[in-house]
Amino acid sequence: MDMTEFDDVPGADVPLDASDVALLARVAELDDRLDPAPHGLAERALFAMTLAGLEAEVMELQVVETPVGSVRSDAPVETRTITFTHERLTVMIALSAGAAAGTVRIDGWMAPAEALEIVLRRPDEERATLSDEDGRFVLEDVPRGPASLLVHQGETPVTTPVIEL
């Protein structure tokens, strides 16, 4: 928009007063009520942009194991085991209930087995841990929600797709 369009508008050069601020607040309130942003949208968008900007090779989601009989259930299914593959690395994680309410414990294994840094990436936090020489690692009390793992292996890190914990 060209700002010269407002040169001939009466009062365009007058600062906002209390009635202008009140009117704008009312418009914002109506907008929030009639067309609210989805819960967590800003955090998810920032998380997605961060991952998109990350120069890492992405692993492929390989296997999702679900409990028997869950296909016909209307209840949400909690995934237990997920395997991610890449040409130079395979990561398998097992999810279980965390000690704190609303959290999960992530037990992970990598092949080939080696001690590497693993970073849990979530919209509101990053948490690093190290795998042992057998490729095992644990992340305790991880809040539920979207997350991915970034594994520092070689010059180019490898990341999993974002999954819902």
Look at residue 153 and tell me if it is in a domain: yes
Query: Which element (helix H / strand E) includes 87?
Result: none
Q: Which residues pair with 104 in a beta bridge?
A: 97, 142
Look at residue 7 and tell me if it is in a domain: no
Look at residue 10 and tell me if it is in a domain: no
Joined tokens for residue 18: 């209390």
Look at residue 102 and tell me if it is in a domain: yes
Look at residue 70 and tell me if it is in a domain: yes
Residue given tokens 């994680």 in the structure block:
93
Look at residue 160 and tell me if it is in a domain: yes
Q: What is the CATH number of the domain that holds 87?
A: 2.60.40
What is d(CA 118, CA 161) in angstroms, rounded to the nearest whole number? 14
| pLDDT per position as a tens digit, 23-54 | 889 988 888 888 888 888 878 877 776 666 55
pLDDT tens over the chain, length 165 residues: 455 555 666 666 778 888 888 988 998 888 888 888 888 887 887 777 666 655 566 666 665 555 555 455 554 445 578 989 888 899 999 998 888 888 999 999 999 999 999 999 998 889 999 999 999 999 999 999 999 999 998 888 898 888 888
Task: Count up the domains in the chain and report the number.
Answer: 1
- Look up the pTM and report it: 0.58
Task: Give the pLDDT of residue 134.
Answer: 93
First to last CA, the chain: 44
Q: Which domain holds residue 56?
A: 41-164
Look at residue 4 and tell me if it is in a domain: no
Task: Give the pLDDT of residue 103.
Answer: 92
Joined tokens for residue 30: 């109506």
Look at residue 45 and tell me if it is in a domain: yes
